[in-house]
Amino acid sequence: MAKTRVVVVDDSALVRSMLTEIINRQPDMECIGAAADPLVAREMIRNLNPDVITLDVEMPRMDGIDFLSKLMRLRPMPVVMVSTLTERGAEVTLKALELGAIDFVAKPKIGVADGLRQLSDDITDKIRVASKARIHRLAPAPGAASTAAAGARPAGAGGAASAPAKPAVSTPMLGRLSTEKIIFIGASTGGTEATKDVLMGLPADSPAVVITQHMPPGFTRSYAARLDGLCKISVKEASDGERILPGHAYIAPGGMHLSVERSGANYIARVQDGDPVNRHKPSVEVLFKSAARVAGPNAIGIMLTGMGADGARAMREMKDAGAYCVAQDEASCVVFGMPREAINAGAVQEVLPLSKISQHVLDHLRATVGQALSRV
């Protein structure tokens, strides 16, 4: 079987050497080149035609983001970012995912060699996933006018969302229903952008949304802040014990499990450490099991793009408890792993393109309102 051919792009000779060693130890992949900057990498990619590249962010002559933007417009290919675990590193990594990078590895600021050795399984797993991912050519970035038309809340100082400002809601209000229903989303590879697309389609009075996206510690706070500035609903990293409210979305902190419990008539978030479940922490399985147990028929489950089977069995438990569950279709997924497993488990009522999920969920909610009123 042909090996996955990888080009490493990083200005650190140590990192290039370590990544080359890690890749070449795998029987199913080989490092066919290593470049110190994007200009060298450009010629290497043109001449060697790799299957995947690993790409650093901060490099001389051209930074990784500029290079990625040009690459995904002119020659789209699978890219795994190698980012330093800092606040700026998190923000830049999220930009890279927006531009089309498949996934990222958070390399440590100190003890790089030992850190990369410890991450070797994670690095090679992500290269394997990237080699099979669905790649789309990057379209021209939308202008400010289109962002405003989407109903985004204005940004405050430093680009953070300005909390008091709320857009006018052009869709019919969901009213009391939003206090009864709760939306649960599970996602992995490709899910940062897929989740963004779903959340941007929800109105300001949406039912509460609780999200587990596979992410390491240090990135989810920046991710939540970025979504908060784009969406009509408020988005934040979940905190243990906080009340889950309509019009808000709560993201599982990287490296912690998120579940939902009841306290009287209210839902509350439970953020806890623990062993990985299905190799993941946070795990979709943990969140969806709590949805089946606590919310039952008041839950709506959404399974988005991702590798593996995390959450599939628990989504079936949700459906059996009366929840309404949908999955992203293969054509719009970066990786059709988690949705396919949920479908195969009999956990899903509808399989939909990403672009139609939000509206379908809203239509389902409004139909539920109509049915409730007809019984009064």
Would you please indicate which residues are annotated as catalytic (active-site) residues? 188, 214, 310
Q: Taking a C-beta distance cutoff of 8 angstroms, is the pair 342, 312 a contact?
A: yes
Cβ-based neighbours of 238, under 8 Å, separated by 6 or more = 210, 250, 251, 252, 253, 258, 269, 271
Report d(CA 280, CA 273) in Å as an integer. 12
E strands along the chain, which residues?
4-9, 29-35, 52-56, 79-84, 103-107, 182-187, 208-213, 234-237, 248-251, 257-263, 266-272, 299-303, 324-328, 350-352
Report d(CA 32, CA 7) in Å as an integer. 6
Cβ-based neighbours of 185, under 8 Å, separated by 6 or more = 195, 198, 209, 210, 211, 212, 213, 302, 304
DSSP per residue, 99-135 = HT--EEEEE-SSSHHHHHHHTHHHHHHHHHHHHHS--
Report d(CA 80, CA 19) in Å as an integer. 12
Report d(CA 267, CA 184) in Å as an integer. 13
Show the tokens assigned to 297.
């028929």
Show the tokens assigned to 79.
């890219």
Q: Hey, which residues does 211 pair with through a beta bridge?
A: 185, 251
Report d(CA 309, CA 278) in Å as an integer. 8
What secondary structure letter does DSSP report for 86? S
Distances (CA, A) of 67 to 11, 73, 75, 79, 137: 14, 10, 11, 11, 14
Task: Render the burial of 313-327: b for 16+ CB within 10 Å, e for the rest.
Answer: bbbbbbbebebbbbb
What secondary structure letter does DSSP report for 229? T
Show the tokens assigned to 368.
């539920």
Show the tokens assigned to 37.
């900057």
